[in-house]
């Protein structure tokens, strides 16, 4: 959305500074034989790409007429209020479309996650707690177990159920430290099961992870997550 507005504003600003051309030429008629024509065409490419990316269905005749009216200083056929209303209606439809798509994605992720966890629960070595957290012991340490109020130091790797890695302290080469009661519920519960020196694989249903909101672009709504977590220590 911001890119669309930026490109539209740039086109309007350029149009206000350039009085060349009628605004009525077809694509076949356009000759890019000077710098002004090339710049004009390049800006048109940016605006067109942004409109297409935003899913806007544009009447090119009306678009060209709007640009030409501003270039020539003519009275536009829409008032400022009407123009603003038209743009607001478009953005409202785009927001509704995005919300519906996200809702559908959340339902899809939830179905796939439930199927994955049901099958995963049957695998050897996988244990399920009352909350729905599943875990597998990769290495059992012999140190103390942390409490929810402790700060812990860990290495970890997070994956989606399709195997996509979305975060890894191993790749960054730097363990992380955090209060155990300030992270997602699946971590708060799962790490309290781990003695220091342990490495567990945690399988988190969405309600123990990021739920319907997801997290950034990598973790979608209602995503089931897998974490390999190594508990390095408890910090006082």
pLDDT in tens, 44-82: 888 888 888 877 788 888 888 888 888 889 999 999 999
For the chain, what are the domain ranges?
2-77, 106-235
Q: In this predicted structure, what is the pLDDT of residue 26?
A: 57
Cα dihedral 154/155/161/162 (nearest 10): 170
Q: What is the pTM of this model?
A: 0.73
Give strand pairing partners of 60.
Answer: none
Taking 70 as the pLDDT cut, the residues of the chain under it are 1-28
Half-sphere exposure of 187 (CA within 13 A, CB side): 27
Three-state SS for 161?
Answer: coil
pLDDT at 25 (0 to 100)? 52
CATH of domain 106-235: 3.10.50.40
Phi, psi of 27 (to 5 degrees): -60, -40
Contact 155, 170 (CB under 8 A): yes
150 exposed, middle or buried (CB, 10 Å; 0-12, 13-18, 19+)? middle
pLDDT at 28 (0 to 100):
64
Q: What was the pLDDT predicted at 191?
A: 98
CA distances from 175 to 153, 155, 168, 230 (A): 7, 5, 9, 9
- pLDDT reported for residue 11: 47
Res 107: pLDDT: 97
């Amino acid at each position: 959305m911001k890119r669309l507005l930026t490109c539209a504003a740039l086109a309007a600003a350029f149009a206000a500074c350039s009085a060349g051309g009628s605004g009525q030429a077809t694509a076949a008629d356009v000759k890019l034989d000077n710098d002004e024509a090339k710049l004009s065409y390049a800006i048109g490419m940016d605006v067109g790409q942004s409109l297409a990316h935003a899913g806007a269905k544009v009447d090119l005749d009306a678009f060209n007429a709007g640009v030409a009216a501003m270039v020539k200083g003519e009275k536009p056929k829409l008032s400022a209020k009407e123009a603003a209303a038209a743009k607001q209606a478009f953005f409202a439809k785009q927001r509704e479309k995005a919300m519906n798509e996200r809702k559908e994605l959340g339902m899809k992720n939830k179905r796939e996650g439930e199927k994955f966890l049901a099958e995963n629960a049957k695998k050897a070595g996988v244990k399920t707690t009352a909350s729905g957290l599943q875990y597998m012991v990769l290495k059992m340490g012999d140190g103390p177990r942390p409490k929810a109020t402790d700060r812990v130091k860990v290495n970890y790797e997070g994956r989606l159920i399709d195997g996509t890695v979305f975060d890894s302290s191993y790749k960054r080469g730097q363990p992380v430290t955090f209060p155990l009661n300030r992270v997602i519920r699946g971590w708060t519960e799962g790490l309290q099961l781990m003695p220091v020196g342990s490495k567990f694989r945690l399988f988190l249903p969405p309600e123990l992870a990021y739920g319907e909101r997801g997290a950034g672009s990598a973790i979608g709504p209602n995503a089931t997550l897998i974490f390999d977590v190594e508990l390095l220590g408890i910090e006082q």
